[in-house]
Amino acid sequence: MDNGGDLDIDAESANDDTTARYGKQGYSFYASIVIPNLENLENFSPSLAFIGVESHLDLIEEFKILKPNQIILDLGAAPGSWSEVIVGISNTKVIAIDKLDMDPMSGVKVLKLDLSTEEAFNKIKEYLNKKVDVVLSDMASDTTGHKSTDHIRTQELAELAADYAMADVLTGGRMIFGVGRGYHSREVETFGSPVIDNDLNRELFEEQIEVILKAFNSESFSHHGKNYNIPPDVPYRGYDLEEITLVPRPLNLPVETWQPVVSGSSIDFTVKNGFNGVVALTGEKLVDQAFHRFRDACERNGRGNVLGSGLALGIGFYIADNENDAMERLRPFHDERFKWFAPFGFVRYADEEGRVWGTPGAPARTPRIEDGVQQKAWICGPPSHQIEFLKEVEEKYPGLENIMLHWPEGMPRDEYLSQLRIFAEEVMPAFTGRE
């Protein structure tokens, strides 16, 4: 919308997983609403692991697979989730085996072995010296070298590109493509990604992006890299495919792509590929660092040098009569969020000396809402507070055109929609009519 005065949301027809974009003269405001529908929870990706465990436990109970005093062999056990589950529901002896490192677990014997070797087999026999009652395997394989098998794995990337293109066509070219390496090991371990080795994980991610961009931007394409071979060397109706074609193709090329940026390496990768960057729920010192690094990378790659251009700034917010009331309303959602994220090291706040929380010398505690407000990652108070903050941002970063408004996870949907309407009516008009 261009008038900045009314927020066009149909609360009755809004999807349970919605990203709404509200444009205006100057900024584009984005509101991210992610609310799991408990009747269709399999589509809520953060819960996939738990759904799988729950369904398998039902089968274990139904068929009485586990009995007291059994010996359970958990193959490909890393990071150890299933071993912990099994120990917790039955008085059993669990031996967890994987070639990856695992943390010690109560009641579980951990063995670091490569199951593809004869040595591993002999060591398991030596350790047990008796029969195993149950063999559990929830392994995700690396590339096998078997062409037909690896074809199935590699075609997933092409299918992802095709899914996006189809959605883009169905929405009349309104889709925005977002990429990221993920924040939790389970997001990539399932697909055989070497998540424990950060360099190898990044290498795999970057090659995946290379494949997807080829699919988007080429009438036909092939890719023969370190990890992916597309099309695979599988005979097709008596001949070998040399290239494949994406059908349908996205309506708008190049595809508008956004990627969260934190480190210098992710910024360089984002800029080099022509992507836009997202800096979200981050303290103002670290925001400034990221914005300047992004600008410098753009200048090196011929993308201009206007500070803030090609970026979106994500902020948390709550509008109330005063700052204290807004903070108290946000407190349970903010604090619960960081109980989850802080242990993973995802607190993008900095101390007075610019050191990231959790690094040597900087605070290492779970942040409170007061910290978020002090860091200007969360803006609380009357509409004038939101306007004042955005005016500061506007002056500081003249190229910034995108503000993303974060949904505080757990907040009732109706309450957040009400917040968006207040923002549209009382904050956005202050930014209309800009050149």
Q: Residue 24's pLDDT is what? A: 33
Q: What are the beta bridge partners of residue 279?
A: 313
Distance (Å, rounded) from C-alpha 238 to C-alpha 243?
Answer: 15
Nearest residue to 393 via CA among 376, 380, 410, 407: 376
- Residue whose structure tokens are 């579980």: 108
Please name the residues in contact with 25: beta carbons below 8 A apart, sequence gap of 6 or more.
2, 4, 431, 432, 433, 434
- Quick: pLDDT tens for 84-122: 777 776 667 788 888 888 888 888 888 888 766 667 767
Residue 61 vs residues 16, 58, 108, 254: alpha-carbon distances, Å: 33, 5, 21, 51
**DSSP 3-state percent helix, strand, coil across the chain (nearest 5):** 40, 15, 40
**CA separation, residue 339 to residues 32, 249, 432 (Å):** 21, 42, 38
Domain residue ranges of the chain, discontinuous segments joined by +: 1-35+274-435, 48-137, 141-255
Burial of 123 (0-12, 13-18, 19+ CB in 10 A): middle
Report the candidate in 79, 81, 93, 38 with the shortest Cα–Cα distance to residue 56: 81
Q: What is the DSSP string of 308-348?
A: TTTEEEEEEEEE-SSHHHHHHHHHHHHHHHHHHHGGGT---
pTM score above 0.75? no
How far is residue 418's CA from residue 430's CA, in Å, rounded to a whole number?
19
Rounded to whole angstroms, the Cα distance separating 292 from 305 reads 10
CATH class of the region 48-137: alpha beta
| Residue range 1-35+274-435, CATH number | 3.20.20.30
pLDDT digits (tens, 9 = 90+) for 151-208: 555 567 777 787 878 887 878 888 899 998 776 666 666 656 555 667 777 888 899 8
Cα 175 from chain centroid (whole Å): 18
Length of the chain: 435
> Are the C-beta atoms of residues 32 and 406 closer than 8 Å to each other?
yes
Mean per-residue pLDDT pooled into runs of 10, the chain (435 residues): 32 32 39 33 28 46 68 78 73 80 84 73 68 64 52 67 80 87 66 65 87 93 89 73 87 93 88 96 95 96 95 96 97 90 85 90 92 96 97 96 91 93 94 68
User: Strand pairing partners for 31?
Assistant: 20, 405
The CA distance from 383 to 386, in Å, is 5
Note the pLDDT of residue 20.
34
